[in-house]
Amino acid sequence: MLLEEGNIMAEKMTRRTFMKGAAAAAAAISLSGVLVGCGGGSAAADEVKLGAYTVKLYSANTHAEVQGTGGSSYKITAKADITFDKNAGGTFQELPCKGMFTGKIDTVSLNTDKPTGSLKMSNFAVLNWFMSKATVDVDMTVPDAETYQKIADGTPVEVTVKINNIEGTLYIVQSGKEFHVVNTDPGTAN
């Protein structure tokens, strides 16, 4: 309802008018959050984006346990941060860890020992403070000494990460005594 006061028109605020304005404002805010989520940034060198998830691999290392009985074992270990995008629409997901990380050196497949079980992730506004990020240990067994030596010789470990049927690849490369994780294929040593 419009009231004319001199040359100034004023709108009388009724409950209905207020509710319509509040609904329009809420819709605009909601849509702006969706549009911000579409912007997407590029992943850092040690990360891969998989839909609404970003996976960062770090603290990579190798371990050899040589036993006198000939029962040696060789491992590649790392940590992974899995982050659920807060702007991807509020949802709750349970992600199975089996098959999430697979590795190979050249054509030799590695056996993934960790992570196991499942991860419960959420980006609902109330839950995202403690359920939008998870850190897991990644352990892979190298089948033999020859393949293990390839890592020290500069052959990258290709780690495929798969979440919600979206795959990405990270590479663990040894340089001297340090290990680096990159998201572009560094090639192999000659």
Tens of pLDDT, residues 116-146: 998 888 766 666 565 678 899 999 999 999 9
Q: Are 123 and 85 in contact (CB under 8 A)?
A: yes
Q: For residues 32 and 131, give the distance between their C-alpha atoms in angstroms, rounded to a whole number.
A: 23
Surface-to-core class of residue 133, CB atoms within 10 Å of its CB (0-12 exposed, 13-18 middle, 19+ buried): middle
**Domain identity same for 53 and 34:** no
**Domain identity same for 98 and 151:** yes
Would the pLDDT of 30 be above 50?
A: no
DSSP for 43-60, written as a single string: PPTTEEEETTEEEEEEEE
Residue the block writes with tokens 């994780």:
181
pLDDT digits (tens, 9 = 90+) for 140-167: 999 999 999 999 899 999 999 999 999 9
**Domain identity same for 30 and 107:** no
Q: For residues 147 and 37, give the distance between their C-alpha atoms in angstroms, rounded to a whole number.
A: 42
Residues 37-42, mean pLDDT to the nearest whole number: 49
Supply the range of the domain harboring residue 143.
47-182
pLDDT digits (tens, 9 = 90+) for 65-111: 877 676 788 999 999 999 888 777 767 788 899 999 999 999 999 99
Q: Is the pTM of this model over 0.85?
A: no
**Domain identity same for 16 and 85:** no
Give me the residues paired with residue 171 across strands.
158, 182
Residue partners of 168: CB distance under 8 A and separation at least 6:
48, 49, 50, 55, 160, 161, 183
**Domain identity same for 30 and 114:** no
**Domain identity same for 104 and 31:** no
**Domain identity same for 85 and 141:** yes
